[in-house]
Amino acid sequence: GQQLNQSPQSMFIQEGEDVSMNCTSSSIFNTWLWYKQDPGEGPVLLIALYKAGELTSNGRLTAQFGITRKDSFLNISASIPSDVGIYFCAGLRGRVTFGTGTKLQVIP
Amino acid sequence: NAGVMQNPRHLVRRRGQEARLRCSPMKGHSHVYWYRQLPEEGLKFMVYLQKENIIDESGMPKERFSAEFPKEGPSILRIQQVVRGDSAAYFCASSPPDYPPYGYTFGSGTRLTVV
Q: Which of B42, B91, B104 sits opposite A101 (nearest CB)?
A: B42
Nearest Cα residue to B92 out of B72, B76, B79: B76
Contact A41 B91 (CB under 8 A): no
Rounded average pLDDT over B52-63: 93
Choose from B37, B94, B110 for mutation: most chain A CBs within 10 A.
B37
What pLDDT is attached to residue A96? 81
Q: What is the chain B residue with the closest CA to A102? A: B42
A49 Cα to chain B: minimum distance (Å): 10
Q: Which of A33, A41, A98 sits opposite B1 (nearest CB)?
A: A41
**Cα angle: B4, vertex A73, A40; to 5 degrees:** 30
B109 near A CB under 8 A? yes
What pLDDT is attached to residue B112? 97
pLDDT over 90 (residue B24): yes
Q: What is the chain A residue with the closest CA to B4? A: A42
Q: Which of A4, A95, A100 sits opposite B101 (nearest CB)?
A: A95
Contact B48 A95 (CB under 8 A): yes
Hey, what's the torsion of the CAs at A7, B40, A99, B9, to 10 degrees? -140
Chain B partners of A25 at a C-beta cutoff of 8 Å?
A: none
Rounded average pLDDT over B63-72: 96
Nearest Cα residue to B48 out of B73, B28, B23, B72: B23
What pLDDT is attached to residue B110? 98
Average pLDDT, chain B: 91
Chain A partners of B42 at a C-beta cutoff of 8 Å?
A: 4, 88, 98-101
Are A34 and A47 in contact by the 8 Å Cβ rule? The answer is yes
What pLDDT is attached to residue B105? 86
Q: How big is the A-B interface in CB pairs under 8 Å?
A: 51
Rounded average pLDDT over B91-105: 77
* Selected residue with higher pLDDT from B97 and B88: B88
pLDDT over 90 (residue B15): yes
* Selected residue with higher pLDDT from A95 and A70: A70
pLDDT over 70 (residue B100): no
What pLDDT is attached to residue B42? 85
Q: Which of B41, B45, B103 sits opposite A33 (nearest CB)?
A: B103
pLDDT over 70 (residue B103): no
What pLDDT is attached to residue B101? 55
Hey, what's the torsion of the CAs at A75, A22, B102, A53, to 10 degrees? 80
* Burial class of A103 by CB neighbour count within 10 A (0 to 12, 13 to 18, 19+): middle
What pLDDT is attached to residue B1? 45
What pLDDT is attached to residue A39? 87
Average pLDDT, chain A: 92
* CA separation, residue B21 to residues B6, B49, B52, B76 (Å): 8, 15, 17, 6
pLDDT over 90 (residue A40): no
Rounded average pLDDT over A2-10: 88
Are A31 and A92 in contact by the 8 Å Cβ rule? The answer is yes
pLDDT band at B102 (very low <50, low <70, confident <90, very high): low
